[in-house]
């Protein structure tokens, strides 16, 4: 980070320079025509940057290469006679080798085995860590753009297959600056072949931009299609899940089964949908993002039709658009299914809560009735308690009266007990009432 402070500005935010330089981290290659671009893109989910570093170290002129330099995920290595560009993305890594067009691969001649002419050698390419997702031989010439026999000569370069192509871009005099031709087929060597016929005055910068757009276009097209097999596999599973959900919803509506049985059937269904969503939602989102980049790259090359040929954009969209539509529909279908399962779960949960509230209300009513009976019983017991206390106290008075009479005093025990009975009864009642008042106050 640049720590230089401007005398005209406040201190920089910690990430200002990093974010500003992000736009400069992956510049287009610059090279002279004619040139051959050997391009390989590999999935890197199980490949570390350290492994890619060790592979790059096998190139000549890389003795001073350090792992620290690869933190920017972009590296250009200039070797004798060719240039290697390494770019690491979140899901794939790109290797672009730019070299002069091999001898014997001149315009109008049969294209030789380009793998034998790759500057880095076939063994280095074969040992790139990762799984190949895109491999392209891009031949770029600064001749042939005005050749009336360009179509037939291009077939010698590209081999058999339906030719597609277009005029690309516009110059100041409203002419296209290059022609693109390909058949988008993987050859016996594992590479696709693309041919670009550019104007003689094509600059090194323009050549690099043309190459970058075409290579990115094909790479992102393949990356966007990674979700298509998943979408096709999920079609049957989603249909079965939808049928089960409809069945559970009907049972929920008809109330034929208990809530516990319905919940036992719905919970695994919800878990299955959540698992599918967690596993594949990123892949579907990535497919739509990659498709957006493909459309952007197609618009950037500003195609115009070549006589008798379908443009690359038309050809791609004819096959790519339905595939992306399938992915998008599957993603939306999965989201809708998750929402339906959530609504069914909420409905069942509401029914369970209503049933629980009704049960709680019944329990409360029973408890209320029990409390009323308990109060009545308590009042009865209190009455009996007053009588019992009075009985025992009067009995004690009677015994005291008999003792006094036996002692010689003129006392009638029965009369004494009878006269004490109302007093004891009143005292017992007042005592219990006082206890009640004390309990209420606490």
* Amino acid 106: pLDDT: 62
Six token digits for residue 290: 């990659």
Mark whether 217 and 231 lie in a shared domain: no
Mark whether 71 and 50 lie in a shared domain: yes
pLDDT over 90, % of the chain:
11
Mark whether 240 and 334 lie in a shared domain: yes
* Amino acid 131: pLDDT: 93
Q: Which helix (H) or strand (E) holds 205?
A: helix 204-224
Mark whether 168 and 260 lie in a shared domain: no
Cis amide bond preceding 34, omega within 30: yes
Mark whether 282 and 151 lie in a shared domain: no
Phi and psi at 181, nearest 5°, equal: -140, 140
Query: How do 131-141 and 192-198 pair as beta strands?
Result: parallel
Among 321, 334, 439, 441, smallest CA distance to 382 is for 439
Q: In this structure, is residue 367 part of a structural domain?
A: no
Among 352, 174, 337, smallest CA distance to 257 is for 352
Q: Which of 362, 397, 429 is the last residue of a domain?
A: 362
Residue 394 CA to residue 377 CA, distance in Å, equals 25
287-330 tens-digit pLDDT = 999 999 888 888 888 888 887 788 888 888 788 888 889 998 98
Q: Which of 161, 195, 221 is the last residue of a domain?
A: 221
Q: In this structure, is residue 15 part of a structural domain?
A: no
Q: String of b and e for 230-261 (b: at least 16 CB within 10 Å)?
A: bbeebeeebeebbebbeebbeebeeeeeeeee
Look at residue 167 and give its three-state secondary structure: strand
Return per-residue pLDDT of the chain as tens, 442 residues.
445 567 788 888 888 777 777 777 777 778 888 888 999 999 998 899 999 999 888 888 777 788 888 888 888 888 888 889 999 998 999 999 998 877 666 665 555 555 555 666 678 888 999 999 999 999 888 887 787 777 777 777 787 778 888 888 876 666 788 888 888 888 888 888 899 988 888 888 988 899 999 999 999 999 999 999 999 888 888 888 888 888 878 877 777 767 677 777 778 888 888 888 888 888 889 999 999 988 888 888 888 888 778 888 888 878 888 888 999 898 888 888 888 888 877 777 777 777 777 777 888 878 878 777 777 777 667 777 778 888 888 888 888 888 887 877 777 878 877 888 888 888 888 887 777 777 767 6
Q: In this structure, is residue 140 part of a structural domain?
A: yes
CATH number for the domain that contains residue 296: 1.20.58
Residue 185 CA to residue 264 CA, distance in Å, equals 51
Mark whether 300 and 436 lie in a shared domain: no
Q: In this structure, is residue 213 part of a structural domain?
A: yes
Six token digits for residue 282: 């990123």
Q: In this structure, is residue 7 part of a structural domain?
A: no
Mark whether 236 and 139 lie in a shared domain: no
Mark whether 242 and 272 lie in a shared domain: yes
Mark whether 153 and 280 lie in a shared domain: no
Residue 225 CA to residue 294 CA, distance in Å, equals 11
Mark whether 332 and 406 lie in a shared domain: no
Q: In this structure, is residue 3 part of a structural domain?
A: no
Look at residue 68 and give its three-state secondary structure: helix
Structural domain containing residue 192: 30-221
Rounded to whole angstroms, what are the CA distances from 143 to 32, 149, 167? 13, 12, 14
- Report the domain count for the chain: 3
Q: In this structure, is residue 274 part of a structural domain?
A: yes
Indicate if the alpha-carbon torsion angle 9, 10, 13, 14 is positive or negative: positive
Mark whether 239 and 197 lie in a shared domain: no
Q: Which of 198, 221, 244 is the last residue of a domain?
A: 221
Mark whether 161 and 281 lie in a shared domain: no
Q: In this structure, is residue 95 part of a structural domain?
A: yes
């Amino acid at each position: 980070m640049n720590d230089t402070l401007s005398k005209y500005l406040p201190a920089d935010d910690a990430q200002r320079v990093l974010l500003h330089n992000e736009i400069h981290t992956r510049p287009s290659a610059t090279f002279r025509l004619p040139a051959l671009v050997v391009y390989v893109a590999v999935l890197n989910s199980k490949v570390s940057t350290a492994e890619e570093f060790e592979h790059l170290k096998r190139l000549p002129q890389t003795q001073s290469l350090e792992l620290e330099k690869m933190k920017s995920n972009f590296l250009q290595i200039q070797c004798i006679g060719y240039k290697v560009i390494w770019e690491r993305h979140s899901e794939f890594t790109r290797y672009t080798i730019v070299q002069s067009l091999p001898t014997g691969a001149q315009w109008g001649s049969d294209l030789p085995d380009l793998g034998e002419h790759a500057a880095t050698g076939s063994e280095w390419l074969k040992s790139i860590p990762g799984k190949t997702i895109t491999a392209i031989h891009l031949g770029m010439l600064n001749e042939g753009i005005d050749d009336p026999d360009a179509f037939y000569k291009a077939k010698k370069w590209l081999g058999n297959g339906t030719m597609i192509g277009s005029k690309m871009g516009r110059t100041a005099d409203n002419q296209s600056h290059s022609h693109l031709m390909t058949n988008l087929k993987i050859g016996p060597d594992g590479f696709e072949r693309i041919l670009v016929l550019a104007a003689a005055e094509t600059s090194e910068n323009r050549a690099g931009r043309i190459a970058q757009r075409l290579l990115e276009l094909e790479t992102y097209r393949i990356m966007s299609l990674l979700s298509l097999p998943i979408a096709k596999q999920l079609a049957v599973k989603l249909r079965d899940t939808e049928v089960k959900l409809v069945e559970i919803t009907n049972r929920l509506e008809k109330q034929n089964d208990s809530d516990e049985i319905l919940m036992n059937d719905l919970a695994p269904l919800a878990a299955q949908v959540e698992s599918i969503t967690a596993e594949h939602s990123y892949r579907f989102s990535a497919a739509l993002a990659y498709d957006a980049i493909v459309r952007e790259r197609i618009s950037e090359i500003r195609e115009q039709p070549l006589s008798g040929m379908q443009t690359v954009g038309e050809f791609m969209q004819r096959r790519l658009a339905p595939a992306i539509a399938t992915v998008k529909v599957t993603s939306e279908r999965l989201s809708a299914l998750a929402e339906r399962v959530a609504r069914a779960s909420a409905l069942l949960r509401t029914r369970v809560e209503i049933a629980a509230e009704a049960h709680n209300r019944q329990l409360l009513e029973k408890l209320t009735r029990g409390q009323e009976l308990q109060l009545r019983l308590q009042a009865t017991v209190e009455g009996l308690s007053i009588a019992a206390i009075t009985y025992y106290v009067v009995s004690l008075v009677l015994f005291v009266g008999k003792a006094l009479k036996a002692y010689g005093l003129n006392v009638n025990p029965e009369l004494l007990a009878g006269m004490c009975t109302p007093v004891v009864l009143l005292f017992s009642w007042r005592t219990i009432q006082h206890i009640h008042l004390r309990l209420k106050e606490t």
